Structure formats: C-alpha cells, structure tokens
A and B are shown apart, each in its own frame.
Chain A
Amino acid sequence: MTHRLKPNGRRVVPLLIFALLALVPAATAIGADAFVLSLVTRIMIFGLAAMALDLLLGYGAMISFGHAAYVGIGAYSVGILSSSGIDDVFVQIAVAFAASGLFALVTGAISLRTKGAYFIMITLAFGQMLFFLASSLAAFGGDDGMTLPSRSLVFGAPILKNTVVLYYAAFICLLGFYALCRAIVASRFGRVLRGIRENLVRMEAIGFAPYPYKLAAYVIAGMIASVAGVLLANQAEFVSPAYAGWQRSAELIFMVVLGGVGSLHGAIIGAALFVLLAEYLSRLTEYWPMIFGPLLILVVIFARGGIAGLLKAWR
C-alpha cells in the first residue's frame, strides 16, 4: 500500500459541465436563440451562489436560510457604487468582498452559537434584516430597486455590455470559485469541516474546537456568494431588495438539494434545472410551482444525492 493515496478520479461530470458551458456562446453564434446566452448566464450566476451555499450546507452541515443576503450585498455594492460614479468592477468586487465578509463575520459569530432549527431561523432573520434594510434605502430605489446607469467597467472599458463577454466573465468566476472550493474541501481545513459535519463531539474529542472553522467557512461562503450578486446586478442592469429576500434563499437551498448536497458541481446542475424549469414551466402555466414542489419531493425521496448523486451511481 502506498502512502500517497490516489485522489478521487471521478471528475468527469464537472469537466463535462464546464465544457458544455464554455461552448454555449459558440452555439448561439451559429444560430441558436441569443436568449439562451442570457439564460445560461443566469444559470451560472445562481450556480455560483448555490455552490457557495453547498460549501456550508454540504460540507459543514450549516443550513443557512439567509444566503441570498450575500447575493444582495454584492448587487448593492455595484448599485450603490455605480450610482456614485464608481464603475470599476474590481473596486466593486473588493467592496462586495469587504461588506459580505464583515456581514458574515458578525452574523455568523452570533448564528453559529446556535444549532439545528435555531440556526436556520437566525440566518433567516439576519437575511430578512438585510432585505428590509435594502427596501428602506430610499436613495437607492427603496423596495422598487434601482436601474443601473450602466454595466461595470473592466480597466475603464465597457466590455461587459457585450453579452458574450459578460457570459465568459460569469463563466470564469464560476470556474475559478469552483476550483477554489474544490481545493478548500480537500485541504486540511476542508477535512476538519467535513469531520464537523459528520460528528461534532468526535471532533472535539480529538482536539478541534469547531467554532472557528465553521465561522471561517461561513465567511468564505458569504464572500463567494457576493460575487454572484455583482454579476447578477450587471446582467440585469438592475438591483432589487428581492435579490436578498428569503424566497431567493429558499431557491438556493432548492438548487443545492435538487443538484446534490455536498458535491459542489451538483449545485450548478441544480441551478440549471431550477432556472430552466422555472423559465419553461412558467410559459406553460402560471401555476408552475405546483409542478416544481412535487419534483423536489420526488428528488428528496428517490435520489438523496440529487442529480449529482444519480450521475455518480450510473458511472
């Protein structure tokens, strides 16, 4: 037996996902509906936010019901800065990181003192707090939200106005943060996080105090989700308190569960299914959530690992 164990070789599904995503603009270039491009951009944006949530939910067993708040923080970082004339996307991302990191640090420090249903409720409460704060920002549109004067600038250039450039910006963010999250879950830190998920008391008994690890994961997940907010604001050219609302938080959990908890790429699959189903079912009937709900129930009952779990089983 060797001391260096083989890393998990099953990376085919994520590879396929990213290959497919990379080729979508080519498909639209040769005639597919241009609307597909903006739809898939949305998929990648929500996939990014859902993947960040999966880091908490799937690897740290922290069921945050307020993760959309961080998407909201990212979006408002763009909205507020661009309305004051600061259009540079890197400045906006830096501010989004700082604001979401601070919010996660403060609310996480409090929330993580609770467990189970209490943790769910307190993260929901903090999320709603942010939602109502955004709704009350009269200077920035209040509950109507605000239209952005323009998309963010990259090194002073308005290249994000091009939908293909914006598409690849979202793609690079998703790919980069996917690689980062993969590294994190396989690292020393990630193994401690997975251990805490499995059995907290056991981890304490071998000398790990769980709290700082959970808090660090909470802050990382919040900061990653804020990047999804920066992208979302740019794509919609609009910022709204609804981005941070509890319905959005619930949708993110829905995506993670649908795609497969604790796999990272499952969250992207879940986001894709969610966005596509919402888009096409809502064209069929306005009662589309009535098809949606039972679908999630079926997945939870028959495919505990979500879509990613099914794909793994087939291989």
Chain B
Amino acid sequence: MTVPLLSVENLCKAYGALRVTDRVTLTVAAGELRAIIGPNGAGKTTLIHQLSGLAAPDSGQVMFDGRDVTALSMPQRARLGLVRSFQITAILPRLSALDNVALAVQARSGSSFRFFRDVSQDAAINTEALALLARFRLDARAASAAGTLSYGEKRQLELAVALATRPKLLLLDEPLAGTSHDEARLVIAALQSLKRDVAIILIEHDMDAVFALADRVSVLVYGAIIASGTPAEIRADPAVRAAYLGEEA
C-alpha cells in the first residue's frame, strides 16, 4: 500500500473543558474524496482549522505528503499543496475577481518581491486566472470588484482561488452553503471533474451531494470520529443513524 497523502494521528484540541477534537486519526489517499459529516458543533470546522494550520492542535500529528506539517503555518502548508476554503466567504472584496484568482496563481509562480512591472499585464498569470474563472462561469465578471459578486458567485470564486493554488489536497468547508440549485450543480460538477487529480476533504451538510461525490465518509460527533467507510456502509451503520442520520429519519 502506498503512503497516504494525509495522515492525521491522535489529534486533540480542547477549549477549556470542551473537547472539540478528540483523538482524531484519519488518512486520506492521493486523489481520494473524503467527506466529513456530523451534526452542528461536532468540530468539523475546527478540524479543518487544524489541518490547514489556522489553529494549532493541543497534541497529535499531521503528516502531509511525507512530511510532518504539524508545526507549519498556514502559508507554509498552502505552498506545499494543502489548501483550504472558508465556510464564511473569504475574498478580497475591493480587488477584481480576476485579481483574486491571479494572486493565488502568483503565490506559486515566482517571487512577489517584484516592485516595478505592472502585474495586471502579466499574460501568463492572467491566462491561467481567466481559465479558472471561466470554469466557474465567472469570466464575464473578471473585472468586477469581488465584493460586488452575488453570494453564490463569491462561493464559486473562492473555489476558483483554491484551485489556482494547484493544491494536492483541498479542504473544503461547506462549499455549497447558501448557493442556489444551479450554482450547487456547477460546484458539484467541478468537484467531480477534480476527483482523482486532487484529493479533497469535504465538509458538507447537503447529504445528496456528499453521497454522490465521496469515496469515503467519516462521521464526526463531539469531536471524535465514530465511523468511517464507503457511503453505503455509512448509510447502513446503526451508530451513525443513531447519532446523526437518525435525526432526519
């Protein structure tokens, strides 16, 4: 068996007496799409924070692409290809949609301690950024300030930005939240086309999307993973039904 792309060992984090991440152990193979589901407050976003480097775990280890990244900062992890999106839309509102994506391209293409040449005329960066915008049908909005985009467009822009970094593993925190039906279909299609090329950890409440996309599903309850398996296994798991899916039944 090959070495997994991401392997998380005994990750723990507590806020006071509240254990938000409880001995989480998890491996994700290259190209795998792993969904993490769980009720609200289960600690899904906190887990993403720790995987991406935004928050430090109290104990445990995160190995990514053969290296221990537990002590690395978010920018360092991003440059290695471990890239996240945000649940609450995080864009650069007064920069154009194109600039938002172009900056992510720029981040991995040469030094940004370049002070004189007009970067808006950099054809290589613009071509790549525009292609990504087109993929999410945002190319007509390229010159618009990102803050003026609709909510759904902003969610898509965020995905385009994440892809522009050419990640090996994408951490997506509810990419469908608040999108319209059509926009959701566009995002799901984009994720489907990414599968195999990019490993993805997907946090999502839309169960139809989760079961359609995921290779494997892990269920997080009170900070601990109570089950992992294929979508079919998870659907049939009595503990999961009791803890989570059962609520909806």
Using a CB–CB distance below 8 Å, which chain A residues touch chain B?
1, 3-5, 7, 183-184, 186-192, 194-195, 198-199, 201-209, 212-213, 216
Q: Which of B83, B98, B102 contacts A205 (CB 8 A)?
A: B83
Q: Is B103 within 8 A of A5, CB to CB? A: no
With contacts A7-B118, A191-B99, A207-B107 known, is A199 near B75, CB below 8 A? no
* Across-interface contacts of B142 in A (CB, < 8 A): 1, 5
B17 at the interface (CB under 8 A from A): no
With contacts A183-B115, A186-B120, A191-B99 known, is A202 near B79, CB below 8 A? no
Query: Which residues of B from 106 to 124 have beta carbons under 8 Å from A?
Result: 106-108, 110-123
Top-7 shortest CB links A-B: A207-B78, A198-B92, A207-B107, A188-B114, A206-B104, A209-B75, A202-B90
How distant is B166 from chain A, measured CB to nearest CB, in Å? 10
B176 at the interface (CB under 8 A from A): no
Q: Is B103 within 8 A of A191, CB to CB? A: yes
Query: Can you report 16 A-B residue pairs in the complex whose CB atoms are below 8 A from each other?
Result: A3-B126, A5-B120, A183-B118, A184-B116, A187-B118, A187-B119, A191-B106, A195-B103, A198-B94, A199-B90, A201-B86, A204-B54, A204-B75, A206-B103, A208-B112, A209-B75
How distant is A222 from chain B, measured CB to nearest CB, in Å? 15
With contacts A199-B92, A202-B90 known, is A207 near B108, CB below 8 A? yes
B139 at the interface (CB under 8 A from A): yes
Contact with A along B76-107 (1 / 0, CB 8 A): 10110001111000111111001100111011
Q: Which of B91, B111, B119 contacts A186 (CB 8 A)?
A: B119
Using a CB–CB distance below 8 Å, which chain B residues touch chain A?
52, 54, 73-76, 78-79, 83-86, 90-95, 98-99, 102-104, 106-108, 110-123, 126-127, 130, 139, 142-143, 161-162, 164-165
Closest to A209 in B: B75
How distant is A12 from chain B, measured CB to nearest CB, in Å? 19
Q: Which of A186, A190, A201, A213 contacts B90 (CB 8 A)?
A: A201
How distant is A35 from chain B, measured CB to nearest CB, in Å? 39
* Across-interface contacts of B111 in A (CB, < 8 A): 188
Q: Is B92 within 8 A of A202, CB to CB? A: yes
* Across-interface contacts of B94 in A (CB, < 8 A): 194, 198
How distant is A56 from chain B, measured CB to nearest CB, in Å? 15
Tell me the bound Cα distance from A203 to B139 in angstroms. Answer: 22
With contacts A189-B114, A192-B112, A194-B95 known, is A205 near B84, CB below 8 A? yes
* Across-interface contacts of A187 in B (CB, < 8 A): 114-119
How distant is B147 from chain A, measured CB to nearest CB, in Å? 9
Closest to B99 in A: A191
Tell me the bound Cα distance from A184 to B118 in angstroms. Answer: 8
Tell me the bound Cα distance from A184 to B116 in angstroms. Answer: 6
Known: A183-B118, A191-B103, A207-B108. 14 other contacts (CB 8 A): A3-B123, A184-B115, A186-B119, A195-B92, A195-B99, A198-B93, A198-B94, A202-B86, A202-B90, A203-B75, A204-B73, A207-B165, A208-B103, A208-B112
* Across-interface contacts of B123 in A (CB, < 8 A): 3-4
Tell me the bound Cα distance from A27 to B53 in angstroms. Answer: 61
* Across-interface contacts of A190 in B (CB, < 8 A): 115, 119
* Across-interface contacts of B85 in A (CB, < 8 A): 205
* Across-interface contacts of A183 in B (CB, < 8 A): 115-116, 118
* Across-interface contacts of B76 in A (CB, < 8 A): 209
* Across-interface contacts of B120 in A (CB, < 8 A): 5, 7, 186
Tell me the bound Cα distance from A3 to B142 in angstroms. Answer: 11
Q: Is A192 within 8 A of B103, CB to CB? A: yes
Q: Is B112 within 8 A of A4, CB to CB? A: no
Q: Is A188 within 8 A of B107, CB to CB? A: no
How distant is B79 from chain A, measured CB to nearest CB, in Å? 4
Q: Which of B52, B91, B114, B143 contacts A199 (CB 8 A)?
A: B91
Q: Is A189 within 8 A of B91, CB to CB? A: no
Q: Is A4 within 8 A of B121, CB to CB? A: yes
Tell me the bound Cα distance from A5 to B86 in angstroms. Answer: 29
Q: Is A204 within 8 A of B121, CB to CB? A: no
How distant is B154 from chain A, measured CB to nearest CB, in Å? 12
* Across-interface contacts of A3 in B (CB, < 8 A): 123, 126-127, 130
* Across-interface contacts of B73 in A (CB, < 8 A): 204, 209
